[in-house]
Structure 1
Amino acid sequence: MTNLQDPTTPTDPDTPPPAAPYGTPDAPRIAVRGEAHLEVDPEIARITVTVGARGKDRRTALDDLTRRNTAVLDLVKTYGNAVERLETGAFSITPELTRHGRGERVRTYHGAVRTTAELTDFTALGELVTRLADHDLTSVEGPWWTLRPDSPAHRDVRQKAVREAVQRAREYAEALGTTLHALVELADIGAENTPPAHPQHPGRMRSMSYAGATDETTAAPLDLEPQRQRLHASVNARFTIRPPRL
């Protein structure tokens, strides 16, 4: 007679049986979630500067754009180590068409260059954005406040979430008159919300000062208050506890 054996039953007598997924009376399990929130000061302020130019022909527009863009870059570079990163992004030169009789012809050319700057010295930020916004045909957006990807704050909020999970599990065990025995599982559920590069509701400044402006006075630096960064982390944890006496 054939002996049919459950394939899940171990054939080796020395092999321990698989652990029950939800615990047993001899090894009860507790499943908890640990959550943590932190508010910290930002480490980086990001601004974008768009320089515009226009001319009746393509070469005039390009020359004007080059001159204005160079002036902006030179100004930003004078702030030295306060500027951690300076990158040029989009560039465009676009003809503006107008109807002429039955056809169309180019009326003028518009050019634009977009540059992103990241600053770590916030004391220089207000002065820089004010001086940039005072340039002709220049728009300034920002600042967007954020943390570095490797900021210790990310580690701190994760560790705080783990400690919260352990504390909560201990409280459940104490309510049963017993103690924790072992950690079975710790799962990072991706609950840390690192602030995006462009968080919602950033401070914004815009200036479109056209050629021919007569005001040569320098505007007072803007007083910019850094936006506190909110971090959140959560983990799922499972523990075994010593069998309580109920």
Structure 2
Amino acid sequence: MTQDATPQPYGTPDVPRVAVRGEAHLDVDPEIARIGITVTARGTDRRAALEDLTRRNNTVLDLVKSYGEPVEKLETGAFSITPELTRHGRGERVRAYHGRVHITAELNDFTALGELTSRLADLELTEIDGPWWALRPTSPAHGEARRQAVLEAVQRAREYAHALGADLAALVELADLGAENATPVAMAAPAGMLRSMTYGAQDDAGAPPLDLEPQRQSVHAQVNARFTMTPPVL
């Protein structure tokens, strides 16, 4: 009774194998930027604080939406109305109400981003955080990094084979290590051009647009590859 030959994971003298790792590192321009917008309100009356917060929130949303296609995403996050308590005699009473709503905007036009951040920061009791620069998950840069990593693996394996007087014969295995993007879409750290700003109302002319310098993004790919090669000449 015949049996199939047991696979040899490390090759044989007649069919030797070579295992290599291919890597690629690219620095590319970002495709999108995200900013955080926090709108606040304060009042001694709960209803008045809520109405003030609603008005300011609507002003911010209308302003961001007015930029049209450059705005890819606009999302409202946490919202709160919190009483500020103070002791009065033996008890406590509400001194004021604090309202807060957080909004996130994602843009693909960085000229529009600079103008929008200035206009937002020009609004009363409005705080801006960011920008956080990033690539889209579907960015061609990820594919290019993987392609370069594979090419490097093939080149490295071929050089090892040639050093032995042999040549590559076939690809046995190609494994992605899953390390394509060193700065994922969760966003890279802010570039420092705009961190956290809270301004009161400014003059009618408005603040000049911010000149933002996009932060280059690092894309990283790694693959493990195994090849068979012709018998070496030793």
| TM-score grouping bracket, smaller chain normalisation | over 0.9
* Contact preservation (8 Å) 2:176, 2:223: yes
| Cα distance in 1, alignment partners of residues 106 and 140 from structure 2 | 19
Q: Which amino acid in the other structure matches residue 193 of structure 1?
A: N
| Cα distance in 2, alignment partners of residues 214 and 238 from structure 1 | 64
* Contact preservation (8 Å) 2:21, 2:223: yes
- Map residues 8-87 of structure 1 onto 2, 5 A cutoff: 12-13=1-2, 15-87=3-75
| Cα distance in 2, alignment partners of residues 241 and 198 from structure 1 | 43
Q: In the TM superposition, what is the alpha-carbon distance from 1:21 to its structure 2 partner?
A: 1.4
Matched residue, 2:136: 148
* Contact preservation (8 Å) 2:122, 2:202: no
Q: Report Cα offsets for 1:44-87 as digits up to 9, x if no partner.
A: 01001000001101101100000000001111111111111111
Query: Residue 199 of structure 1: which of 182, 188, 195 is its match?
Result: 188
Q: In the TM superposition, what is the alpha-carbon distance from 1:217 to its structure 2 partner?
A: 4.0
* Contact preservation (8 Å) 1:47, 1:140: yes
Query: Residue 210 of structure 2: which of 222, 226, 236 is its match?
Result: 222
Q: Report Cα offsets for 1:177-220 as digits up to 9, x if no partner.
A: 1100111111111121252323234333322234xx56444111
Matched residue, 2:231: 243
* Contact preservation (8 Å) 1:134, 1:207: no
Instruction: Give the unaligned 5+ runs of structure 2.
Output: none
Query: Residue 134 of structure 1: which of 119, 122, 127 is its match?
Result: 122
| Cα distance in 1, alignment partners of residues 56 and 223 from structure 2 | 51
TM-score calculated relative to the size of structure 2: 0.95
Q: Which amino acid in the other structure matches residue 85 of structure 1?
A: K
Q: In the TM superposition, what is the alpha-carbon distance from 1:122 to its structure 2 partner?
A: 1.0
SS at match of 2:85: strand
Matched residue, 1:121: 109
| Cα distance in 1, alignment partners of residues 189 and 71 from structure 2 | 23
Larger Rg belongs to: 1
| Cα distance in 2, alignment partners of residues 39 and 231 from structure 1 | 6
| Cα distance in 2, alignment partners of residues 209 and 122 from structure 1 | 22
Q: CA RMSD in A?
A: 1.4
Matched residue, 2:170: 182
Q: In the TM superposition, what is the alpha-carbon distance from 1:35 to its structure 2 partner?
A: 0.3
* Contact preservation (8 Å) 2:73, 2:107: yes
Q: Deviation above 6 Å: which 4+ runs of structure 1? A: none
Matched, 1:95 2:95: no
* CA pair 214-171 structure 1, distance change in 2 beyond 3 A: closer
Q: Which amino acid in the other structure matches residue 209 of structure 1?
A: Y
* Contact preservation (8 Å) 2:28, 2:218: yes
Q: Report Cα offsets for 1:130-151 as digits up to 9, x if no partner.
A: 0000111110011110011111
Q: Which amino acid in the other structure matches residue 54 of structure 2?
A: T
SS at match of 1:167: helix
SS at match of 1:33: strand
Matched residue, 1:160: 148
SS at match of 2:207: coil
* Contact preservation (8 Å) 1:133, 1:206: no
Q: Which amino acid in the other structure matches residue 48 of structure 2?
A: T
